[in-house]
Amino acid sequence: MRVMAQMAMVMNLDKCIGCHTCSVTCKQAWTNRTGVEYVWFNNVETRPGQGYPRRYEDQDTWQGGWELNKRGRLALKAGGRFKKLAQIFSNPKLPALDDYYEPWTYDYETLTNAPLQNHTPVARPKSLITGKDMKISWSANWDDNLGGAPEHGDKDVLLSQVSEKIKFEFEQTFMFYLPRICEHCLNPSCAASCPSGAIYKREEDGIVLVDQDRCRGWRMCVTGCPYKKVYFNHRTGKAEKCTFCFPRVEVGLPTVCSETCVGRLRYIGLVLYDADRVLEAASTPDDTDLYEAQRGVFLDPNDPAVVREAENAGIPRDWVEAAQRSPVHALINTYKVALPLHPEYRTMPMVWYVPPLSPVVDAVRDTGQDAEDHRNLFAAVDALRIPVDYLAQLFTAGDPAPVDAVLRRLAAMRAYMRDINLGREPDARIPEAVGMGEEQMYDMYRLLALAKYDERYVIPPAHAEQAHSLEELATVCSLDYDGGPGMGGSGPFGESSGGAAPLAVENFHALRHRQTSDTAATPTDKARRVNLFNWDGKGRPPGLFPNEPSGGGNGTGGNGDGKDEPKP
């Protein structure tokens, strides 16, 4: 047994209202730069829908993830080492910008510069790729809320895999939202695809990162990731991906997407797993067994043997304790209501989902039955508006049984809690019917419905003895970096060459750049401008005032020592 800790996330899809706050805050924090305009580390997809990039789940086309080869051994679907190197000069399976969308901005300047005219001036869309006028025809959320479903609905990859019946029910529309970030897989195929070895999994917390200094832009990771969550920065020529907000997580803060989630549907916590069993589990012959196989890799942090092994593996005591309190572990293994996204890709994803229990109560009430009776609810699970088959395609490689079990547990929780809320005697048979105890069911209710910030996010900070070296806690002044490379200009070898700047400095400059530029391209007089929002009132930044007329006069404000003041 080789115990490793993994920072993981669970999202409760029942609560997602599709507001995209997570996507927007993530973009502001990480990808509001040139070259990554089209990049969404976090995006929210409406299901059924094509996803982002379009039809990314169609692995017959994109060849992402792992598969079992003829000998039953795990192999990269897009081809192993030799094939990768042979294709290195032109990756045949790379999504083009058309599969994402062409990013654009608007020519806002005409709104203020336009001469007086009869018609209101219009801010026309300008491509951020070519700089020319463009016609917007797709975006990251073009099919949001089933927009264009009559035209595009059948392009959902999963719909072709579920039965005819669902296609018909699709006409009566069902939908739910699926927020997606990088899965930080236990068996990451992006890392395995990287020829340079630049993508690595952190030993301490399992976060999968791209070493920007080692990435050479071979683009194989984009192909390798079946979730298409590695993106290519077309300006710097490097791959970028969700970082699980490691600078925040290292100091015990939740990721930006979780922190800002309006529905409070995200949970972050540690999971302990046995690294020695990952390969075996990922090689499980039957796709539908992968969900159970992956659960089998996780270790019980309350098991003394596991705690002992974790200590031997150098996992700090407070991390083990955090793993014991982990809401993620509880939802996945104790209550068994969280399911992995597309386990059939065999990457062992570590962002799991509580599937949505669609408006089941309304549906039952419409039939004239007692909508809160658990027996009626259980019967209704099979006739949900969101078909179990569809959810099974997403979460269990098509096996409806685990999804059904989860939905029954959620329905049972509603029925059980209704009795309590109405002051009636709680019915112990309800939890029993789904294999749970009364107390356990109440705990699950607490975690899903009431859990506060510190219960939803159990994040042990990285250790204090490392504090000096942590990115955002650096005890050296980050301003001694002024004028260094990465300060928002171009290095000697084009965009963004030179050393990497600390994140805080980079964000500061990106923000300032956005605030001081008002054209799509870099304005020519950018360097001479001053942004009063960033001016703290001290000193006199160059460009704040027009150039002084040179020569004589009566002093230009003096040196402050009073000697130059005119005498009466």
Partner 1 sequence: MTAPAQHVTLAAETSTGGLLLWVVLPYVCLAVFVLGHIWRYRYDKFGWTTRSSQLYERRLLRIGSPLFHFGILVVLLGHIGGLVIPKSWTEAAGISEHVYHIGAVFLGTIAGVCTLGGLTILIYRRRTVGPVFSATTRNDKAMYVSLTLTIALGLAATVAANTVGGGYDYRETISPWFRSVFYFQPDPDLMTGAPVLFQLHALSALLLFAAWPFTRLVHMLTAPVGYLTRPYVVYRSRDTHLGARAPRRGWERSGT
Positions in the binding site for partner 1 (CB under 8 A): 76, 81-82, 84-85, 88-92, 94, 96-97, 129-132, 187-188, 191-192, 194-197, 199-205, 211-219, 232, 234-238, 250, 462, 466, 468-471, 474, 476, 481, 486, 491-494, 496-502
CA distance 419 to 383: 24
Cβ neighbours for 127, distance < 8 A, ≥ 6 positions apart: 102, 103, 104, 133, 134
| Least distance in angstroms from the C-beta of 107 to partner 1 | 17
CA distance 50 to 63: 17
CB atoms within 10 A of CB 318: 11
Q: Which helix (H) or strand (E) holds 81?
A: helix 81-86
| Least distance in angstroms from the C-beta of 91 to partner 1 | 7
CB atoms within 10 A of CB 149: 19
Q: Which is nearer to partner 1, 145 or 490 (CB)?
A: 490
CA distance 167 to 165: 5
Residue 75 in contact with residue 67, Cβ under 8 Å? yes
| Least distance in angstroms from the C-beta of 552 to partner 1 | 44
| Least distance in angstroms from the C-beta of 66 to partner 1 | 10
Q: Which is nearer to partner 1, 100 or 416 (CB)?
A: 100
Q: Residue holding tokens 């990287």?
A: 194
Q: Which is nearer to partner 1, 139 or 369 (CB)?
A: 139
| Least distance in angstroms from the C-beta of 95 to partner 1 | 8
Residue 280 in contact with residue 271, Cβ under 8 Å? no
What is the pairing mode between strands 3-12 and 351-354?
parallel
| Least distance in angstroms from the C-beta of 199 to partner 1 | 7
Q: Which is nearer to partner 1, 179 or 488 (CB)?
A: 488
Strands (E), 13-60: 43-47
Q: Which is nearer to partner 1, 217 or 435 (CB)?
A: 217
Q: Which is nearer to partner 1, 493 or 533 (CB)?
A: 493
| Least distance in angstroms from the C-beta of 510 to partner 1 | 15
Q: Which is nearer to partner 1, 76 or 371 (CB)?
A: 76
- Residue 331, token pair as written in the block: 């939802």
Q: Which is nearer to partner 1, 56 or 395 (CB)?
A: 56
Quote the Cα angle for 497-499-504, to 5°: 110
φ, ψ for residue 340, nearest 5 deg: -80, 155
| Least distance in angstroms from the C-beta of 318 to partner 1 | 16
| Least distance in angstroms from the C-beta of 253 to partner 1 | 16
Residue 240 pairs in a beta bridge with: 231
Q: Residue holding tokens 């020695």?
A: 276
- Residue 193, token pair as written in the block: 């695809």
**Whose CA is closest to 69, among 57, 85, 55, 83?**
83
φ, ψ for residue 475, nearest 5 deg: -85, 0
Residue 100 in contact with residue 37, Cβ under 8 Å? no
Q: Which is nearer to partner 1, 359 or 498 (CB)?
A: 498
